[in-house]
Amino acid sequence: MNNNEAIPGPRGARANLKTAKALVTEPCGALDALAADHGLTSQVTVGPLRLVIVGDHEHVAQVLATDNLAFRWRRVAQTLTIVIGKTSMIVSDGEDHKRRRGLAQPAFAKRRLDSWATRIIEETDRLIDEEFTVGSPRKADLHVLHRTLIRRISVRVLFGDSLRERADEIGERIEPAMQYAGQPALGQIPHPLPFTFRARAKRARIEVDSLLDAVFRERRVAGIDPESDSLVDALLLAKTEGQVLDDAELRDQIVTLIGAGYDTTSAVLSWTIARAALHPTAWQLLRAEAAQQLDNAATHARVKAIPYASATVDEALRLHPAGPFSPREVVRDIEVGPYTVRKGSVLAYSPHLMGRDARVWDNPLSFQPDRFLATNPGVEHQRRLAWIPFGRGSRSCIGFALAQMQLALLTARFAQRLDIALTDGSIPKPSGLIVTRPDGGLPATVTRQT
């Protein structure tokens, strides 16, 4: 039986239009305002469009337990296909998604994750040594440097060491596509006009596809080592029940992984560094832990050995999840709490709101890494209730384990080697619809210690 209770939300066309505009231009602030005025689950209606925001953790659990066949993802992410391609897992539905994810999942085996840890530390040290001199304070936009670092790490993880020296070139080729993906929704409306973000994104994708095709040819001619720790090699070898990823699918998954690492991980790293640098004790605790566990040769670096760094990242993800909400189209009426979400609605659950729910988190707006340490007996329960920055289930981020490892190791190494003083002395405003970045970057004065 359908639930008849109306979903709360703004009343009147003008209020709904104002809220919809705010969600597009300043999503985090708009979500907070919606929750304050209408509760953690609400609906915004503009003409035929119904957007249902779900931030109540019980309602989100119900959504995530609903059969995926009740949803479609392609339409809500349609504008991104010129960047990530038509066969990316992000825009795949039903059996297509199941097959592509099943083929790609083994590429993220634990042995590969372990092999990448050393490279992550090596690239961090290379960037620090290039950019900073011991004892000499220097002003820098850390968010820009974080993007460069993540780009270099992503290239080594994806392609192995053979393309290490071309990491910056690859990043420059794909940058216009990443800039387009970060545009507000109105800036992504399809059009044929030249000399625009969209046109530059199309050209960037053509250039990256050409580079990937050359890599595929080279690897196939040379023969692919089954023991290679390169993600590209693993995807080229992927096979399940006689099925493989064709070259178009390979290109789309790789570009998606580059984009996810490049934009998402660099944004979360910036939020983590900003929060830790402003905390009265976190930076010194991170430094002490890293001094004990991360040796200068960057060997045997494992996330389990740096629990405080992991907790710092998890707390930053609670307050600053990579995306403020995760949308999907509803293809049949579904029940969410006391409400019926009608077919044709766009439903977006919000990790941003869940991370600020005072029913789950004590003092939710306060940055407290200790709440994620194993010594907190309620932490696992809280995680299950209201901590899903990477999604959950078959639609979760396929590279979440890699992202968590990168973020913990990078945070630890920065704290070990650098002193950081944010220029403004405060947390930046969030900006971005798909990926939430620090508005205006992360300007800071940086002093290298070792």
Domain count, the chain: 1
Note whether residue 406 is domain-resident.
yes
CB 272 within 8 A of CB 283: no
Residue 1 placed within a domain: no
Which residues in the chain show pLDDT less than 50? Answer: 1, 297-300
Residue 375 lies in a domain: yes
Q: What is the pLDDT of residues 309-359, one digit of tens each?
A: 999 999 999 999 999 999 999 999 999 999 999 999 999 999 999 999 999
DSSP class of residue 226 equals: T
The whole-number pLDDT of residue 297 equals 45
Confirm whether 145 is domain-assigned.
yes
Closest CA to 317 of 381, 396, 383, 375: 383
| Nearest CA-CA partner of 336 in 142, 59, 64 | 59
Tell whether 331 is covered by a domain.
Answer: yes
Using CB atoms within 10 Å of the CB of residue 304, give its burial: 0 to 12 exposed, 13 to 18 middle, 19+ buried.
exposed
Q: What is the CATH number of the domain that holds 34?
A: 1.10.630.10
Element (H, E) at 349: strand 346-349
pLDDT of the residue at 446: 98
| Alpha helix ranges (H) inside 260-350 | 266-278, 282-293, 307-319
Q: Is 5 within the bounds of a domain?
A: no
Q: Which pLDDT does position 110 carry in this prediction?
A: 81
* Model pTM score: 0.93
* Parallel, antiparallel or unpaired: strands 418-422 and 443-448: antiparallel
Residue 341, domain member (yes or no): yes
Residue whose entry in the numeric block shows the structure tokens 């995306």? 323
Q: What is the pLDDT of residue 300?
A: 47
Q: What is the pLDDT of residue 217?
A: 94
> What is the C-alpha separation between 96 and 78, in angstroms, rounded?
16
* Nearest CA among 320, 295, 277, 258 for reference residue 409: 295
> Residue 160: what pLDDT?
87
- Domain span at 371: 13-448
Q: What is the pLDDT of residue 129?
A: 97
